[in-house]
Every structure is written in structure tokens, then in C-alpha cells.
């Protein structure tokens, strides 16, 4: 995954196993904070992150045309910011990645998964708030806020 240093603008390649921890910029050596926003992924980056993440992963299956998906997007972003360093939040566009949605039996959106060590811990369709998303991640082993 590529993360840009906020100090010098250098693009840094980070191992998916390090997305939830602080890293250092290869150019200026300033810290690169853990990911604090949802990450849009395709099938290959999804598999890479989910299989290597040392923390629980929340996945939001969504589509641009979906009103409830757009309504819950701020809650997903808030959860990513609140859980930075303790969990990773991914977004999967079901229009672009139908095979990935089919792999998890996603038939309605929004649809949320929580995975830990690559295994499905919870799956829930429907819109929910950030507090519920956080509780699911904490139940999967994320450190409480």
C-alpha cells in the first residue's frame, strides 16, 4: 500500500501488516501515522490486507448509487479515525468487485464484515452508527477506545 508523507510528500510503500502502526518516511524520517481513514480496495489488496493485518478489519461493502451507503459513509469514516492503530477499515465497491461481494454472500448493501486473522468474525447488512461498528471491532479484539 502506498502512503504519502504529510511532511515531505514522499510516497512510501507500506507492508499491509504495518497499516495499523506508526511507520517512518523513507525520505525525511518523520512518522507516518497509522491509517485513520477507510481504504478503498480491490480484490487483491483486500486479500493482502486481510491476511496480514495484526488487528481486526472492518469491511464496508457499498455502491455509489446506494442511498443508505452514502448515509453511513461518515459513520464508517468516523470509526476509521477513532480506531486508528487498533483496527483497519476497508471499503469495497460492489459494482467494481462483484466477485469479492459474492465470496461473502453479500446480497444487500451496505453490508459490513469484521475479520480477524483472515477469518470472518461477524457479518451484518444494513446501516449502523459508528458506536456499533466500534463495538464489533472491540468484540473482535481491538483495544477499547
Q: What is the helix (H) or strand (E) element at residue 71, kind and residue range?
A: helix 67-82
Active site residue 8: no
pLDDT of residue 65: 97
Convert the pLDDT of each residue in 115-136 to its tens digit.
999 999 999 999 999 999 999 9
CA distance 51 to 122: 16
Convert the pLDDT of each residue in 66-105 to its tens digit.
999 999 999 999 999 999 999 999 999 999 999 999 999 9
Kindly state whether residue 144 falls inside one of the protein's structural domains: no
> Of the listed 8, 25, 28, 69, which one is catalytic?
69
Domain around 80: 35-139
On average, the pLDDT of the chain sits at 95
Kindly state whether residue 40 falls inside one of the protein's structural domains: yes
All three cell numbers of 2, joined, read 502506498
Number of domains in the chain: 1
Kindly state whether residue 3 falls inside one of the protein's structural domains: no
CA distance 27 to 38: 25
Pairwise pLDDT comparison (57 vs 3), residue with the higher score = 57
* Dihedral angle sign, alpha carbons of residues 73, 132, 95, 15: positive
Kindly state whether residue 11 falls inside one of the protein's structural domains: no
Kindly state whether residue 16 falls inside one of the protein's structural domains: no
Active site residue 66: yes
Q: What is the CATH number of the domain that holds 117?
A: 3.40.30.10
Under 8 Å between Cβ of 107 and 93:
no
Residue listed under C-alpha cell 458506536: 131
Amino acid at each position: 500500500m502506498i502512503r504519502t508523507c504529510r511532511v515531505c510528500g514522499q510516497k512510501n510503500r507500506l507492508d499491509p501488516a504495518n497499516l495499523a502502526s506508526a511507520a517512518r518516511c523513507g525520505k525525511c524520517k518523520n512518522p507516518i501515522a497509522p491509517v485513520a481513514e477507510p481504504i478503498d480496495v480491490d480484490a487483491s489488496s483486500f486479500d493482502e490486507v486481510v491476511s496480514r493485518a495484526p488487528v481486526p478489519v472492518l469491511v464496508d461493502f457499498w455502491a455509489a448509487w446506494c442511498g443508505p451507503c452514502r448515509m453511513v459513509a461518515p459513520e464508517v469514516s468516523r470509526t476509521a479515525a477513532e480506531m486508528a492503530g487498533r483496527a483497519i477499515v476497508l471499503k469495497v465497491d460492489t459494482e467494481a468487485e462483484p466477485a469479492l461481494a459474492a465470496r461473502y454472500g453479500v446480497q444487500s448493501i451496505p453490508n459490513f464484515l469484521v475479520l480477524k486473522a483472515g477469518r470472518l468474525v461477524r457479518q451484518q447488512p444494513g446501516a449502523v452508527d459508528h458506536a456499533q461498528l466500534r463495538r464489533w471491532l472491540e468484540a473482535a479484539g481491538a483495544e477499547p477506545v
